[in-house]
Amino acid sequence: MTPTRQTIFVADNPDGRGNCQSAVLASLLDLPLDQVIDTAGDEVRKQGFWKAIGLWLADRGLKIVQAQPGDDRLKGAYSSGCGPSPRGDFWHAVVCKNGVMVFDPHPSDDGVRSIERHDLIVPMTEVEIRLHKSRCTADKEP
């Protein structure tokens, strides 16, 4: 896990979007922020936030498994923790380990008021990878 700060903030964006989820993905995947899906961008919002993230991950052989706080699958694992932001009426994403926040991509380091759910990023099975590739091929056919 490589801590990565977000660069777009809800308070500064006229559309009320930040890129905390992009920063969390970059952190969890040890990637530079510019190599991660732009979760504050129009394309992601048009496609559907979680659908776009799911497809981006699937292109890399990964998927999201949701877990509730206290789930045994969180033990020993990093996850994206999501919950209400202390800075307004919107959700925020942070990096967790063992179900506990270890990094906030926002420079305030305020975290979230509570973690409502976790998203674990895990490898897809071979069958899931083949299905994803066949769907992508079918979508490109005339």
pLDDT of 135 reads 82
pLDDT for 140 equals: 67
DSSP state of 122: E
pLDDT per residue, tens digit, the chain (142 aa), is 999 999 999 988 888 899 999 999 999 999 999 999 999 998 898 999 999 999 999 999 999 999 999 999 999 999 999 999 999 999 999 999 999 999 999 999 999 999 999 999 999 999 999 999 888 877 766 6
Among 29, 38, 31, 92, smallest CA distance to 64 is for 29
How far, in Å, CA of 91 to CA of 80, rounded? 12
pLDDT of residue 15: 81
Smallest Cα–Cα separation from 94: which of 116, 61, 72?
Answer: 116
Query: What one-character-per-residue DSSP string does 48-61 give?
Result: -HHHHHHHHHHTTT
pLDDT at position 13: 81
Task: Measure Cα distances from 11 to 14, 55, 61 in Å.
Answer: 8, 28, 34
Nearest CA-CA partner of 93 in 70, 117, 123: 117
